[in-house]
Amino acid sequence: MAGLKSMAFAAILAMALSPGAAQAKDVLLERGAYLANGVVACGNCHTPKGPDGRAIPGQELSGGFVIEAPVFRAVASNITPDPAVSVKIVVARHS
C-alpha cells in the first residue's frame, strides 16, 4: 500500500514539473481539499465551534479548539494559509 502511495505521489509530482504544471497544480489543490475536508476531516478539530456545536463561519481551520482530558490538554493550531501563522511556518521551524 505504501509503495502505491509513493508511486501516486511521484506521478503527481512529475505532472507538477511538466509543461502542464498549472493543470497539475489544480489536481494537487483538489487532492488537498479532498483530504482536508473529507478523509482527514481537519476541520473537526481545527475549526472553532459556537455554543451550538456548529463551525463558526469565517473561522474555518483557524484553530483554538480545546480538548481537555484528565491526562492532557490540547489546543488545535491554526492551519490556514495565513503566512504569519500557517502550518508551513510551524513545519519550517521544526525541520
Sign of CA dihedral 13, 14, 15, 21: positive
CA distances from 69 to 3, 73, 74, 75 (A): 37, 6, 8, 12
**Looking at residues 67-94, what average pLDDT do you find?**
71
Contacts of 33 (CB under 8 A, 6+ apart): none
Report the distance separating Cα 13 and Cα 18, nearest Å.
9
Phi, psi of 55 (to 5 degrees): -60, 140
Is 58 found in the same domain as 18?
no
Q: Which domain, by its residues, includes 19?
A: 1-41
**Do 35 and 47 share a domain, yes or no?**
no
89 plus 59 within the same structural domain: yes
The total of structural domains in the chain comes to: 2
| Whole-prediction pTM | 0.55
12-71, pLDDT tens digit by residue? Answer: 666 666 666 677 778 888 887 888 878 888 888 888 888 998 988 888 888 888 889 999
